[in-house]
Structure 1
Amino acid sequence: MKKNNKLLIKGMVCNRCITVLNEELSKLGLDISSINLGEVILKETNKTSVDEKTLKIVLQKNGFDLLYDKNEQLISQIKLVVERGINDQFETGNPVKFSKLISDELHRDYDTMSAIFSLTQGNTLEKFIIAEKMEKVKEFLVYSDKSLTEIANILGYSSVAYLSRQLKQLTGFDFAYYKKIRQDKLAVIAGSPYPAQ
C-alpha cells in the first residue's frame, strides 16, 4: 500500500460503518489516528504494512471501497461536509450557508465543485443538499418532539409551508404522516396494543 496516511473510503454512511471499519483495520494491524465517515487517517508510526489488494478485499467484504478518482474523492468530501453541516444545524440551531461552508472547508470554488457534482452524480448539489435535509427532517419528525416550525427555523426555511411542500415533493408524504409514525412508536413503547388514531 502507498505510504499515504489518509485513505478515502467509499460507502461509509453511518456510525456503524465507522465501528466496522475500525475493527477490520485493527485486525489487519493498522494503527488508526482518526476515523470519520469516508476517511481514515493512519498513524505516521504504523509498523504494519498491508498491500493494497488485501486492503481492498477487506473493504469490499464490508461494503466499502477505496476512492482513487479525484472527482470521486471530491464528491465524497462534499457529501461529508453537507452531512456535517446539517448535523451542526440541528445541534446549534444556526442555519448554514452550504455554498460558503463547502467552499471554505474544501478550499475550492463552489461553482466548480457544483458543476463536477452535477456531472458525476446526475443530480445538482442543491438537490442533494435538500434531499439530505429532508432525511434529517424525517428523522426528527419520527424520533424527536420537535415541531415542524422548530425544524424549519433550525434549517433556515423562510416558512413552514415551504419546508412542508419540499418534504411532500421529495417523499410523497406530508409531515403528519411522519408524526403518526412517531405516535405509533410511542404507543408501542407505552404498551398500548393499538396505534394512535
Structure 2
Amino acid sequence: MVTLHIKNMVCDRCKLVVTQELTKLGLHPAKVTLGEVELREESLTKEQQDAVDGALTAVGFARIDDRKGRLIESIKNIIIERIHHVDMIDRKFNWSDILAEALHHDYNSLSSLFSSVEGTTIEQYIIRQKIERAKELLFYDELNLSEIAHKLGYSSVAHLSAQFKKITGLSPSELKKSRKAEDVRTPIDSLPLKT
C-alpha cells in the first residue's frame, strides 16, 4: 500500500474531493482520513505522482513529502478532528499528552518543531480552532454560551469570552446579536496561524 500525506485536508468534504480526484486518476483509495490516504497500489510511478500532485493542487491540496511537514500536518489534523469533528462529553484532557501519544514523539519536540515551522505555538493554534468552532456553534444557535464554553473545554464563560474577543474583536454575545456570523467565520484551512 502507498500512503499519501496531504496538506489542507481538514474536513469530510476535503476527504470526498481528494477521494474523487484520486479515483479519476485510476487510483484506488482504501482508507481516507484527515491528512492521509492509503492507496491499494503497491507503488506509484513518477508520472502517477506528478498527476496526483497536479490534481491535488488544482483543488487546493498538496502532497507532503518531508517527514517534518507530515508531522506538523498530523498535529493540525489531530487538533481539528478533536475540536471540530468529535463530540466529546469530557473535554478535560491534556493536549500535550494526546499529541505525544498519538504521534509517538515527546511533546516538547513537537511543540518546538511546530513553532519553528509555523511561527506560532500549538497552544495558539488550538485557541484559534476553538474560537472558530465557537463561532460556528453561535451561528447555529443550538447551544447557549455556557454550554459552548463547556463543550470546548473552557473553565468558564469569561475565559471563552476573553479569548473570543481577543481573536475576533467581538464578544460572543456581540457576534450572536449581529447575526452576521457568516461574515466573521473563516474556513478551517484558511485560519491564520498567528494571533
* TM-score past 0.5 threshold: yes
The farther-off stretch of 133-142 and 9-18 is 9-18
Gaps of 5+ in 2: 183-195
* Counterpart position of 1:86: 83
* Counterpart position of 1:39: 36
Structure with more relative contact order (C-alpha pairs < 8 Å, separation 6 or more): 2
User: How far is 1:119 from its partner?
Assistant: 0.2
Residues 142, 182 of structure 1: 8 Å contact kept: yes
* Counterpart position of 1:153: 150
Residues 12, 18 of structure 1: 8 Å contact kept: yes
SS at match of 1:51: helix
Residue 107 of structure 1 aligns with an amino acid whose one-letter code is: H
1:11 paired with 2:13, answer no
Residues 5, 37 of structure 2: 8 Å contact kept: yes
Residues 34, 40 of structure 1: 8 Å contact kept: yes
Root-mean-square deviation over aligned CA pairs: 2.2
1:183–1:67 CA distance, 2 compared to 1 (3 A): closer
Residues 6, 42 of structure 1: 8 Å contact kept: yes
Residues 4, 37 of structure 2: 8 Å contact kept: yes
1:122-177 CA distances to partner (integer Å, 9 max, x unpaired)? 00111001111111111111113211111112222221111100000011111113
1:93–1:112 CA distance, 2 compared to 1 (3 A): same
Match of 2:112 among 94, 112, 115: 115
1:142 paired with 2:163, answer no
Residue 21 of structure 1 aligns with an amino acid whose one-letter code is: V
Q: Percent identity?
A: 38
SS at match of 2:21: helix
Match of 2:26 among 21, 25, 29: 29
User: How far is 1:182 from its partner?
Assistant: 4.6
1:170 paired with 2:167, answer yes
Rg comparison, structure with higher value: 1
User: How far is 1:84 from its partner?
Assistant: 1.5
1:163-196 CA distances to partner (integer Å, 9 max, x unpaired)? 10000001111111332255999xxxxxxxxxxx
What is the TM-score with the length of structure 2 in the denominator? 0.84
What is the TM-score with the length of structure 1 in the denominator? 0.83
Gaps of 5+ in 1: 186-197
User: How far is 1:17 from its partner?
Assistant: 1.7
Q: How many residues align?
A: 180
Counterpart-to-counterpart distance in 2, 1:38 and 1:184: 27
